[in-house]
Structure 1
């Protein structure tokens, strides 16, 4: 049977469960799109076609036999290649890792999505060892933005953003340490969810910075985002950060609306003066959500500085042996950042963690006054591939670190964020962060859903 392009995950699941669609046809349709588009986009590094078709056939057999395969029945998905996929080497975007043995089992979040009926299509391109905001991988090549293939997809979850925006993965998974879900979501014009730190298990994923790493989904609608998120929730004793977390489903809460929510625009560090695309996105989202005030986020600059030090120090410690033994096998930009981290005095890391705790206290107090904050996701829309600098508030600054200008202070303290693409008249996509207090993903997603229903937030159809 024919499978239309651009079906949402919810529509695919409904069609498969009802018998109106075949999971095998859905899988083959997306595999054909990958074959056609990936040579241009370079979003996938591994395609698990045989596995996908086998799994889809199992789902069709279950439907024929009268069983319910789950809320994501037949929905294709793909994962950043730092997730373990049984039988494949977990690259983490690197040259060195691909010499490792193949993974013996799937990452836990892959297992949970498949238990809900989803079908894995493969592994996705990413920045080396997740230390990147551009999507320009020195070993696997640059991942391209489907809205303009001369432009960056954002990183480090570059393939996740590109594949989901291009319709070659209705759902995808990425990681976010300093902004690696929110930056690609903004540049590629899709929805993303960075949950609260400790909400989703990281078991079976290659780490970057343990005290900052989050995993989360990308999708082209808030409903799809919520379906994937709910399927992945739950405690996991193998990841101490989520050991006791209960499931707090959000799918049924999306349409509760925003009445009564105190929504404010974040200012201070998050000001958009001199950043026309970011300003347009924030202004449009604020108007759509009826944001009644502007509030300064206290300590955000110090929080970002602390995040830089924690990131450099922890990641350098993880890679110290590789830096000693194989320095020439790193992307030079990545290697030099790790080397800088390896030379940081221990006292700086201690101080950074103290600042981080202080900053969390300031923001926790702020959330006694407001329920949600609106902030820009990126300071500008997608730069050109290879572009090293960009004018930022009158200064010529490096693109690579400053794509995370607005995301880094948020992940530093583990807050949940719905990355939301905003229709605000810009040539290329750009989005906002809808930031909630810890463990209140439901509030952020309700606000994103409201904007979506009003036609203010939408995943753009790309040029490819």
Structure 2
């Protein structure tokens, strides 16, 4: 059974482009966009199991900052108020970087965000949390023995593909319009295909890997997931 859209939740299922335009034009507040995202995660992630961490208060504070800047007439960037999430091998300030592993939860919390998180937030986006993945990115199915399998949004009895399974599930299930993953040997391309969304493995080195947990440093690529080519381009170029 596929997940259905919730027409009563403000901001749900808007594309990244639509959200950014609505927030920039002050037809939708960034805080409302974040609250709608958190509502949808609470309602549906119990089935999808896409998220391992939700940074709700950080997201709310970031959204309030964006709304205040817009009220002053400032330009907050092309991704104004757009919620996004990242595979849990990206450093997030205050959280240990799991890389899908149990033992990594005992690592010290990251002191700073990964470079791509910083870049997206500088463009106006709002980080919502970290996403499920195959342990150490060595996975093609979206299963994780510690956090459980991420589930396909079109049929939760089926796999998402991996290792960026949480990224594919979160975007395909409408929890966030944008997500970041990594690809060494198909880990963006496989879940994007299985979950019916767009995923990009960029040219090697095109996007910074600073602040990410490596699998094979000479082969790792970081890249975005989105539900449209337009949203993919918006994230990639930001």
TM-score (norm 1): 0.49
Q: Deviations over 1:74-96 (max 9, x none)?
A: 00000000000000010000011
Q: Is residue 125–residue 140 contact of structure 1 (8 Å, CA) maintained in 2?
A: yes
User: What does residue 191 of structure 1 align with?
Assistant: 198
Q: Is residue 87–residue 103 contact of structure 1 (8 Å, CA) maintained in 2?
A: yes
User: What does residue 172 of structure 1 align with?
Assistant: 179
Gaps of 5+ in 1: 232-464
Query: Secondary structure of the equivalent of 2:163?
Result: coil
Q: Deviations over 1:61-119 (max 9, x none)?
A: 01100001100000000000000000001000001111101000000000000000000
CA distance in 2, matches of 1:133, 1:169: 22
Q: How many pairs were matched up?
A: 231
Q: Deviations over 1:27-63 (max 9, x none)?
A: 0000000001111111000000000000000000011
Q: Is residue 68 of structure 1 aligned with residue 75 of structure 2?
A: yes
In structure 2, do the counterparts of structure 1 residues 150 and 117 end up closer, same or farther at CA, with 3 Å as the change threshold? same
Picking from 85, 92, 101, the partner of 1:78 is 85
CA distance in 2, matches of 1:2, 1:208: 38
Query: Secondary structure of the equivalent of 2:225?
Result: strand
Picking from 140, 145, 148, the partner of 2:147 is 140
Picking from 99, 107, 110, the partner of 2:106 is 99
User: What does residue 221 of structure 2 align with?
Assistant: 214
Q: Is residue 20 of structure 1 aligned with residue 27 of structure 2?
A: yes
Report how far residue 5 of structure 1 moved: 2.7
> Per chain length, whose mean CA-contact separation is higher, i.e. which structure has more relative contact order (CA < 8 Å, sep 6+)?
2
Q: Which has the larger share of helix?
A: 1
Q: Deviations over 1:116-166 (max 9, x none)?
A: 000000000000000001011011001100111110011000100000001
Gaps of 5+ in 2: 1-7
Equivalent residue runs for 1:156-171 within 5 Å: 156-171=163-178
Q: Is residue 11–residue 37 contact of structure 2 (8 Å, CA) maintained in 1?
A: no
User: What does residue 123 of structure 1 align with?
Assistant: 130
Q: Is residue 45 of structure 1 aligned with residue 46 of structure 2?
A: no
TM-score (norm 2): 0.96
Q: Is residue 11–residue 32 contact of structure 2 (8 Å, CA) maintained in 1?
A: no
Q: Is residue 45–residue 125 contact of structure 1 (8 Å, CA) maintained in 2?
A: yes
Equivalent residue runs for 1:234-249 within 5 Å: none
User: What does residue 29 of structure 1 align with?
Assistant: 36
Structure having the higher Rg: 1
Picking from 30, 54, 60, the partner of 2:61 is 54
Q: Is residue 2–residue 25 contact of structure 1 (8 Å, CA) maintained in 2?
A: no
Query: Secondary structure of the equivalent of 2:176?
Result: coil
CA distance in 1, matches of 2:148, 2:37: 22
CA distance in 2, matches of 1:135, 1:111: 26
CA distance in 2, matches of 1:12, 1:151: 30
